[in-house]
């Protein structure tokens, strides 16, 4: 693939923070409607073929997935979709590899993509392999990340996930019903985060929103019967194979076999055991970027100008005590839903959520202020008060997050805000001159750990 020179349009470092996914669209594949979204405006198309279970809405709530997609979209037009029978797509039977390959072709036609790179992970690998072999003119490249070849462990394939008898035990419908929605899979899908209860809850929600237990079993049965060994030698597209050496779901020998069998492929073995590529995904994105564009992100930290927003619920401890754990959790879930809706509306990016607080970034201070005001008003409708603080400054990109003095300043500004108040630094106020947003001077403040006096302003 042509190596681009430094200075080409692809070398835009900060876009990953602020690209926004398009609204859900539907491509018709036969009689089935496949839900998809597009992220970014890069010069090459990249179709993300995820493994296992998907729901575009629920996945987007997982900050690691969102950050992973945003980084890919910094150099591509990223196309994400829900498999047939799952998520926002028509809830039909899981479909064969051939039918699901037609779904990808239908999406590409709908979005006007003549050729694209396919990035298949886990169970999404076999379909990507089949597509690349069947439609070489439409597959400009193939990226396989933690990709399966054959799930069933047999005498001639000792690297499968399990024997037929073991599979039948795993997929007993009653057993799946008992486990479904509990997020137990993170123990082996993301072992580095097995103690993260927030992530476990998100995975449980993803399971429920992707498919019913019965449909999930049908999908797992379809996937277990896949064997693409006879197709792999036909792949002629430039191919990158990435695999973590201690992957507990898909044995690393799957990747080594692929590397030996696909002529001219590039194989990179990564440390660690996380099967899902979104986690610790920076090095994966770096390898994919270099393979597809010829440009690798510089190793030194990147710095961008951003507006940071911090919010938290006022009097949360007292309300939790008053309502009890269950009612408080339900109220907090509704609060989170409203905040995330406003972040999407004003093109904010959720960086972190801790307890009842949110940390988000924006590429424009006026949008950040309007988002903060909307959050204050919306959560008031459910009987809660929040305080919000904003600051604009240079931030350092740190993997999937941001850090630096600007972040600390924003947090301290939020801490100085009163109930229902949106407080901003003088930097933010100066940057929105002419926007029509008005302020009340709250005077000079000392912000703990931040040098000097800071003049703060309340949005009126």
Domain boundaries, the chain: 15-293, 302-459
Contact present, 352 and 63 (Cβ < 8 Å): yes
Q: Based on the number of CB atoms within 10 Å of its own CB, is 434 exposed (0-12), middle (13-18) or buried (19 or more)?
A: exposed
What is the CATH T-level fold of the domain 15-293, as seen in this structure?
A: Rossmann fold (3.40.50)
**SS3 state at 118:** strand
* φ and ψ at residue 128, rounded to 5 degrees: -65, -40
Pairing of strands 357-362, 139-145: unpaired
Quick: pLDDT tens for 339-380. Answer: 999 999 999 999 988 778 999 999 889 999 999 999 999 999
Measured over the CA atoms of residue 47, residue 48, residue 52 and residue 55, the dihedral's sign is negative
Q: What is the pLDDT of residue 426?
A: 94
The tokens 């600051």 sit on which residue? 391
CB 107 within 8 A of CB 34: yes
Q: What is the DSSP annotation of 328-377? A: HHHHHHHHHHHHHHHHHHTT-EEEEEETTEEEEEES-HHHHHHHHHHHHH
Residues 302-459: name the CATH superfamily: Nucleotide cyclase, GGDEF domain (3.30.70.1230)
pLDDT for 22:
66
What is the end-to-end Cα distance of the chain in Å, rounded? 54
| Distance from C-alpha of 213 to C-alpha of 301, rounded to nearest angstrom | 44
> What pTM, to 2 d.p., does this model score?
0.66
Contact (CB, 8 A) for 161 and 269? no
pLDDT at residue number 298: 55
- What stretches in the chain show pLDDT beneath 50? 1-19
What torsion, rounded to 10 degrees, do the Cα atoms 57, 63, 65, 66 define? Answer: 70
3-state helix, strand, coil in the chain (%, to 5): 40, 25, 35
Tell me what pLDDT residue 262 has: 97
Would you say how long the chain is, in residues?
Answer: 460
The answer to whether the beta carbons of residues 77 and 53 sit under 8 Å apart is no
Exposure letters 21-46 (e unless 16+ CB within 10 A, then b): beeebbbebeebbbbbbbbbebebbb
């Amino acid at each position: 693939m042509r190596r681009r020179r430094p200075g080409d349009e692809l070398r835009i470092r900060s876009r990953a923070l602020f690209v926004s996914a398009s609204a859900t669209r539907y491509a018709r594949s036969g009689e089935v409607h496949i839900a998809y979204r597009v992220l970014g405006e890069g010069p090459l198309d990249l179709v993300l073929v995820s493994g296992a279970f998907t729901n575009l809405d629920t996945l987007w709530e997982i900050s690691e997935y969102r950050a992973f997609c945003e980084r890919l979209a910094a150099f591509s037009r990223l196309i994400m979709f829900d498999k047939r029978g799952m998520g926002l797509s028509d809830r039909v039977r899981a479909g064969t590899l051939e039918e699901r390959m037609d779904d990808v072709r239908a999406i590409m036609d709908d979005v006007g993509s003549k050729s694209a790179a396919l990035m298949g992970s886990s169970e999404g690998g076999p379909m990507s392999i089949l597509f690349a072999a069947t439609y070489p003119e439409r597959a400009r490249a193939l990226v396989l990340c933690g990709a399966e070849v054959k799930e069933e462990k047999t005498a001639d394939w000792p690297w499968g996930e399990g024997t037929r008898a073991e599979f039948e035990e795993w997929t007993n419908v009653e057993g799946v019903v008992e486990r479904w929605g509990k997020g137990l899979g993170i123990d082996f899908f993301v072992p580095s985060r097995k103690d993260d209860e927030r992530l476990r809850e998100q995975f449980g929600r993803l399971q429920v929103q992707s498919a019913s237990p019965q449909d999930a079993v049908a999908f797992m049965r379809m996937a277990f019967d896949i064997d693409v060994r006879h197709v792999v030698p036909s792949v002629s597209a430039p191919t990158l194979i990435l695999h973590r050496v201690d992957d507990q779901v898909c044995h690393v020998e799957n990747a080594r076999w692929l590397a030996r069998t696909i002529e001219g492929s590039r194989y990179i073995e990564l440390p660690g055991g996380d099967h899902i590529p979104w986690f610790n995904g920076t090095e994966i994105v770096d390898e994919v970027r270099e393979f597809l564009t010829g440009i690798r992100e510089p190793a030194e930290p990147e710095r961008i100008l951003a507006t940071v927003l911090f919010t938290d619920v006022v009097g949360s401890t007292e309300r939790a005590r008053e309502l009890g754990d269950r009612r408080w959790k339900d109220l907090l879930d509704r609060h989170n839903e409203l905040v995330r809706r406003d972040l999407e509306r004003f093109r904010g990016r959720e960086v972190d959520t801790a307890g009842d607080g949110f940390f988000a970034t924006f590429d424009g201070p006026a949008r950040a202020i309007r988002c903060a005001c909307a959050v204050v008003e919306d959560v008031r409708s459910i009987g809660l008060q929040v305080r919000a603080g904003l600051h604009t400054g240079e931030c350092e990109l740190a993997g999937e997050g941001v850090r630096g003095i600007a972040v600390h300043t924003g947090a301290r500004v939020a801490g100085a805000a009163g109930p229902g108040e949106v407080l901003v630094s003088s930097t933010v106020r100066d940057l929105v001159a002419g926007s029509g947003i008005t302020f009340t001077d709250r005077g000079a403040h000392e912000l703990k750990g931040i040098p000097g006096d800071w003049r703060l302003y309340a949005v009126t």
